[in-house]
Every structure is written in C-alpha cells, then in structure tokens.
Amino acid sequence: MATEIGSPPRFFHMPRFQHQAPRQLFYKRPDFAQQQAMQQLTFDGKRMRKAVNRKTIDYNPSVIKYLENRIWQRDQRDMRAIQPDAGYYNDLVPPIGMLNNPMNAVTTKFVRTSTNKVKCPVFVVRWTPEGRRLVTGASSGEFTLWNGLTFNFETILQAHDSPVRAMTWSHNDMWMLTADHGGYVKYWQSNMNNVKMFQAHKEAIREASFSPTDNKFATCSDDGTVRIWDFLRCHEERILRGGKEKERETLVCETIHWSPLSCPQLGTQPSIHACALIGNRTSNLSVHGLVFNPPNHMGQGEMKHYLKKL
C-alpha cells in the first residue's frame, strides 16, 4: 500500500515572552543628569568652564629627528632632500638643521591668537631658553607665562609697578633682566624669582643687552644715554652719550644691541662693542629694534637717525 510522503512540517518558534532590556538595579537620584553635566566642567579657581580640546603644536618630533640625524650626517652632503609632499613630514627638522636653505625659517602660516585676562598693551615678548614657554611684559607691569605648545597662560606675576619696556636673557640661560618705564632694572632667575632691583635711569628704559661674557650689560633710555653696568656688582661703569652737546637734551635712545663677536679692527675693546640707535624726540621714530646678524654685520637704517657704534 503506497503512502504519500510529504515534506516535513516547517519549524516555527515563537518566544513566549518578548525580549526586554535588563533592568537597572540601582536607584537614580533626580539630580543624576545634572551631576553628569557637571563632570564635564573644570574649575580654574574662579569660575566653572567647560573642558575643551586645545590645539597643540608639538615641535619635539622634529628636534628628535635632528638629534638622530647628527649621528651620521657629517655636513650638508649627507642631508636628504625634502620634497613638497605629505610623505616627508617625518623628515622635517628645525631651521638650525637646514642652514643651507634659509627659506626653511620663513614663517608663513598663522597659528593662534592668545588674549590675556586683563587686556592691555604688550611691549615685550621673549621665549624662555628651553623654548617651551613664552614670557610677555605688559603695560600693567605684569609678566604672563604662556605655554608654547597649547598657547594657554600658566602664570601671571606682578613684576613691576610701571610698564615693562625691556626683557633679555643672559647667554648662559640662568638670568633674565627686565627694565620698566620708571627706569628700574630687575634680576630674575629662571624660576621667576626676583633677586635684585635698582634704578638705572631716571627716565624710561627702552632696551637692555648682555655682553657676550654676561659680565656686563648695557641699557638705553629716553634720556639719550647708554649706560654700561657690571652685572655682579650692579655698578655703573660708563655713560655713553650720542649726538652733539646742544642736541643731547632732545635725543632719545630707542634700542641697543651688544655685538655677539669681538671686532679688534675697530680699535675698541670687545667688552664694550655695541651699537645704539639714537633719534630726536620731536621726530617720528620709526625704528624700534636693532639686532646683529651672526656674521657681525649690520644693515643700514634711516638717514634721520644716528646709528652709532659704541
């Protein structure tokens, strides 16, 4: 007797209970959502601020690459060429490692603007010797220490009672010398500890510069004089005046810079070989800075100023 064999019944499964999310076994307080929002805020000592991601420019990889290349590079012959391609980003080195290409030191890209808490004019800006921080001197007499990687300020210090006009580091990177609008000079250690203060001029000091040996420094002021000081004794050694005797009452000294090299052919002692820029009070002084380039040469200024070698 033949029987008809059909297909087996199709398997069908329907769960008895619908799937449910696991229940939370802890009690949520009514202010739980508010506490989660508060955790994303940071306290800076004055007010609550929301945590943000800061743009950081880290130059340490290029410095490390430069130190590694110095092991096997003899001179410019061993330097590898860098092409304008993204694949050569890892081969970038600081400007000191590419002295044969001066265009490497040209900065053409704007990075960041940072604003102090108290908005006031900033008269002087200097990098710290290690290059990780930036020190600014403002018209309020405050020092602001900025982070050179994240562009935020770290410390604000009331350094002077009058506007800060000059700031320079010694060549041994141990001392920082600052001068203000009242004619006072202060010595600072690398940890921003003030150790000495005295009055060098009766009028505003415009610039200060260390000698190559750091034993002496020079200051220039609105009184039209350049004064040579002994750094250790804080003693005035010489007063240098520019221009004719009748014109000295109207002269101001805007800037000064000590030569980094000795120059015996000029017939002057290397310890006092410097250059100052002197102008008239009534004229519009358009030159406010003067720096020697490494070969100890100097460019020409405008004809209405006295450019004098001391």
Spans of all domains in the chain: 54-111
Residues 6+ away with beta carbon under 8 Å from 193: none
Distance of CA 175 to the CA centre of its chain: 16
Buried residues in 67-81 as b, exposed as e (16+ CB within 10 A) = eeeeeeeeeeeebee
The conformation of residue 24, written as its DSSP 8-state character, comes to P
Q: Would you call 183 exposed, middle or buried from its count of C-beta atoms within 10 A (0-12, 13-18, 19+)?
A: buried
Q: What are the pLDDT digits (tens) for 2-30?
A: 555 555 555 555 555 555 555 555 555 66
Residue 280 CA to residue 254 CA, distance in Å, equals 10
What pLDDT is recorded for position 48?
61
Instruction: Report the candidate in 227, 239, 226 with the shortest Cα–Cα distance to residue 306.
Output: 226
Mean pLDDT (the chain, rounded): 76
Q: What are the pLDDT digits (tens) for 141-194?
A: 999 999 988 888 888 999 999 999 999 999 999 999 999 999 999 999 998 999
What pLDDT is recorded for position 286?
55
Residues 6+ away with beta carbon under 8 Å from 43: 49
Q: What are the pLDDT digits (tens) for 233-266?
A: 999 998 887 655 555 566 777 788 887 765 433 3
**Do residues 254 and 283 lie in contact, with contact meaning Cβ atoms separated by under 8 Å?**
no
**Do residues 278 and 254 lie in contact, with contact meaning Cβ atoms separated by under 8 Å?**
yes
Distance of CA 243 to the CA centre of its chain: 35
Tell which wins on pLDDT, 33 or 235.
235
Residue 228 CA to residue 220 CA, distance in Å, equals 9
Instruction: Report the candidate in 210, 206, 201, 209 with the shortest Cα–Cα distance to residue 239.
Output: 201
Average pLDDT (75-93) is 84
Q: What are the pLDDT digits (tens) for 35-48?
A: 665 555 555 555 66
Task: DSSP for 82-107, please give it.
Answer: --SSGGGGGG---GGG-TT-GGGG--
Residue 282 CA to residue 302 CA, distance in Å, equals 16
Bridge partners of 164? 180
The two three-digit tokens of residue 181, written as one number = 């609008």
What pLDDT is recorded for position 102?
79
- Asked whether residue 284 carries a pLDDT value surpassing 60, the answer given is no
Instruction: Report the candidate in 177, 229, 236 with the shortest Cα–Cα distance to residue 207.
Output: 177
Average pLDDT (75-96) is 84
